[in-house]
């Protein structure tokens, strides 16, 4: 069994960080998660996962710009690291290989844009 080191929620968060690019800070990631999955999530839960991912070396972060609606406070912008992207790829390949071994799905083709 290949160890992907990524939970389902972690994987989604990691992907969202990549998607959001320069706008990837905790609140925005939580909002994006809610709108894409229709599941409620608290900012705290997302933040906790972001911290864990950073500890694993999949993310790094830096303080970004401040805006007025945040009471002039800066936000922490997260970025995926090379290790993070590698982990995502490994995870996807592992899953694809599982899908291919599933007889009913094995002849489906997967297109990725």
Partner 1 sequence: MAQQQRTPPRWAERIITWLLKEELAEEVLGDLEEKYYQTGEAKSWSRARRNYWYQVIHYLRPFAINIFRSNNSIQLIMLKNYIKIALRNARKNAAYSGLNIFGLTLGFSACMLIFLWVHHESSVDRFHDNGENIYRVMRHMHQSNGTAITMAYAPQPLQDVLMSEYPEVENLAALSWNLDLLFERGEVIGNEFGFYASEGFFDIFSFELLAGTEAVLADPTKIVITDKLARKYFDVIEDDFSDVIGQTILVDEEEPFMVGGVVRAPGHLSSLQFDWLLPQKGLIDANSWMRSWDSGSIRTYVELAPGTQPAVAQRIEQEINDHVEEDIDERLTLQPLGDQYLHSQFENGVISGGRITYVRILSAAAIFLFIVVCLNAMNLITAQSTKRTLEVGIRKVLGEAKSSVRFQFLVESLLFSLTATLLALACTWLLLPYFSTLIDTSMNISDLGLEVWMYTLLLVLMAGTLMGLYPALLLPAIKIIYALKGTATRSLSAGSYRKILIVFQFSISIIIVFAAMIISDQVQFVLNKDIGIEKENLILVEMEGELAGKYDTYRNELLQIPEVSSVTSTSGNPIRYGRSTGSALWAGKDPGNNTDIGIMLVNDDFIETVGIKLLQGRTLSGSYGADTSNYLINEEAAKIMGFENPLNQRLSVWGTEGNIVGIIKNFHTHDLYEPIGPMIINYYPKRTEVALIKMNETNSDAIAKIEALTTTLSPKYPFEFEFLDQSYAESYRNEVVVGQIIKLFAIISVIVSCIGLFTLTTYSTFLRTKEIGIRKVYGAGTNQIILMLSKEYSVLILISIVLALPVTIIYAQDWLEQFQYRIDLSAFNLALGAIVGMAIGLITVGVKSYQAATANPMKSLRNE
Residues of this chain that bind partner 1 (CB under 8 A): 25-27, 31, 42-45, 47-48, 51-52, 63, 66-67, 69-71, 73-76
Q: Which of 39/73 has CB closer to partner 1?
A: 73
Q: Which of 52/79 has CB closer to partner 1?
A: 52
Question: In terms of C-beta density within 10 A (0-12 exposed, 13-18 middle, 19 or more buried), how is residue 17 classed?
Answer: buried
Shortest Cβ 4–partner 1 spacing (Å) = 22
Tell me, what DSSP letter sits at residue 38?
A: -
Shortest Cβ 71–partner 1 spacing (Å) = 5
For 75, the enclosing helix (H) or strand (E) is strand 74-80
Shortest Cβ 81–partner 1 spacing (Å) = 19
Rounded distance between C-alpha atoms, residue 27 and residue 102, angstroms? 38
């Amino acid at each position: 069994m290949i160890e992907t080191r990524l939970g389902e929620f972690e994987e989604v968060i990691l992907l969202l960080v990549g998607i959001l690019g320069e706008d990837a800070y905790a609140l925005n990631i939580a909002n994006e998660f809610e709108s894409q999955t229709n599941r409620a999530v608290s900012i705290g839960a997302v933040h906790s996962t972001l911290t864990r991912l950073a500890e694993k070396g999949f993310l790094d972060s830096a303080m970004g710009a401040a805006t007025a609606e945040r009471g002039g406070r800066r936000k922490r912008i997260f970025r995926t690291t090379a290790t993070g992207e590698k982990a995502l790829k490994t995870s996807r390949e592992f899953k694809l290989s599982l899908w291919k071994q599933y007889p009913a799905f094995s002849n489906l083709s997967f297109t990725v844009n």
